[in-house]
Amino acid sequence: MRIYSTRKLPEKHIQSIIHNIDGVEVEMWPYEDKPISREELVKQVEHADGLITMLSDSIDEEILAKGTKLKVVANLAVGFDNINLEAARKHQVVVCNTPDVLTETTADLTFGLLMATARRFGEAISYIKNDQWNSWSPYLLAGQDIHHKTIGIFGMGAIGEAVARRARGFSMNVLYHNRTRKEEAEKSLPAQYVSLNDLAEQSDFVVSLAPLTNDTKNTFNKEFFQKMKSTAIFVNAGRGPVMNEADLYDALTTGKIAGAGLDVFEKEPIGANHPLVGLPNVVAIPHIGSASIETRTAMIQLCFENVLQVLQGKEAKTPVKR
Ligand code: DGY
């Protein structure tokens, strides 16, 4: 059986999982920092029983149709909007993701991004690097308070709840909007379910952690930003296309909102010349929500475990529920 990974992953983590299983061969795209070409992916999938994919790989109908031996695709992410689930079902390919193992790490990053944006870390770091610090002054790089403010979470899955727990540690009032009510979390946090409209109007921090679906695409647009407080901050650590970047740019440059912390973008990767990156009130980071060494290692191991389970005719550990 042949498992192909579309990115070079550390051998030592893989060997610890597959070392005692006969007849399993692992091949990898040879680069850690360069995505596999489409041409190579098409070629490799023809001989693969299992694929380990990155969120930057488009696993569409063409790829799935070429994988005549393919039984399982394990995506190194909790999100799976890069995979055509309909086509996977048609070609009888099991799709797996990496939930749970990345929840706390992604929540840490999300709350950190909120703090960095509210307290202007980006500008403050540049201030010293550019040798601008000549004196202490009362409103030098003064930002927005976080404690006792209202956070509005869009997408109250496991990561949303973990961010809400962090917010409660800062004595914040927690609002949320989700496709289903989370009654357990409402009581234990506590958190209050609100309409999208109320989330926009009442939150000091709007935090998007929602997956990309037809329903969530373009949720954060001109209409939404217009309803936000002018002192409010928008944070996106979910998926880029859930926001409209042109409308966000407009809201940030016309003072409709105070700032934005962004870990994700409509099209990734972005370059230094991206319009949002040049704004002083934006903290932009390169989709590193789950990027701690411990968590990425756990994600890699979970991907291989999922693939092996399926190739051995067993239930995957974390199949995507459709
Ligand atoms: C995911 O796993 O979907 C995250 O976006 C990775 O940071």
> Could you read off the pLDDT of 179-223 as tens digits, one per residue?
999 999 999 999 999 999 999 999 999 999 999 999 999 999 999
Can 120 be counted among the known catalytic residues? no
Nearest protein CA to atom 3 of ligand 1, as residue: 79
Task: Output the six-digit token pair for 90.
Answer: 């048609």
User: Which domains occur in the chain, in start order?
Assistant: 2-97+292-312 (3.40.50.720), 102-284 (3.40.50.720)
Q: ipTM value of the model? A: 0.93
Ligand 1: nearest atom to the Cα of 291 = 7
Global pTM reads 0.97
Instruction: Give the residue whose CA is nearest to atom 1 of ligand 1.
Output: 77
Output DSSP code: residue 55: T
Atom of ligand 1 nearest to the CA of 299: 2
Distance 112 CA to ligand 1 centre (A): 16
Rounded CA-CA distance 251/230 in Å is: 9
Residue of 7, 120, 274, 287 marked active site: 287
Inter-residue contact 107 to 162 (CB < 8 Å): yes
pLDDT of residue 19: 78
Write down the H helix ranges in 130-231.
158-169, 183-188, 196-202, 222-227
pLDDT, tens digit, 9 for 90 and up, residues 166-178: 999 999 999 999 9
Give residue 290 CA to ligand 1 midpoint distance, Å: 6
Indicate the DSSP class of residue 157.
Answer: S
Q: What are phi and psi of 259, to 5 degrees?
A: -170, 170
Atom of ligand 1 nearest to the CA of 264: 5
- List, in order, residues 6 or more apart from 161 with CB less than 8 Å away: 182, 185, 189
Q: End-to-end CA distance of the chain, in Å?
A: 26
Separation of 134 CA from ligand 1 center, angstroms? 40
Looking at residue 322, its pLDDT comes to 66
What number of residues does the chain have?
322
Tell which residue, 178, 143, 179, 144, has the closest CA to residue 163.
178
Euclidean distance between CA atoms 142 and 156, whole angstroms: 30
Reduced to 3 states, what is the DSSP secondary structure of residue 302?
A: helix
Active site residue 2: no
From the CA of 280, how far away is ligand 1's center (Å)? 26
Nearest CA among 44, 99, 54, 91 for reference residue 71: 91
Residues of the chain whose pLDDT is less than 50? Answer: none
The residue to mutate among 57, 76, 97, 290, having the most atoms of ligand 1 within 8 angstroms of its beta carbon, is: 290
Question: E strands within 225-284?
Answer: 233-236, 259-262, 282-284
Ligand 1: residues whose CB is within 6 Å? 55, 77-79, 102, 106, 287, 289-290
Nearest CA to ligand 1 atom 2: 77
Residue 287 is a catalytic residue: yes
Dist. CA 306 → ligand 1 center (Å): 17
Among protein residues, the one with the nearest Cα to ligand 1's atom 7 is 289
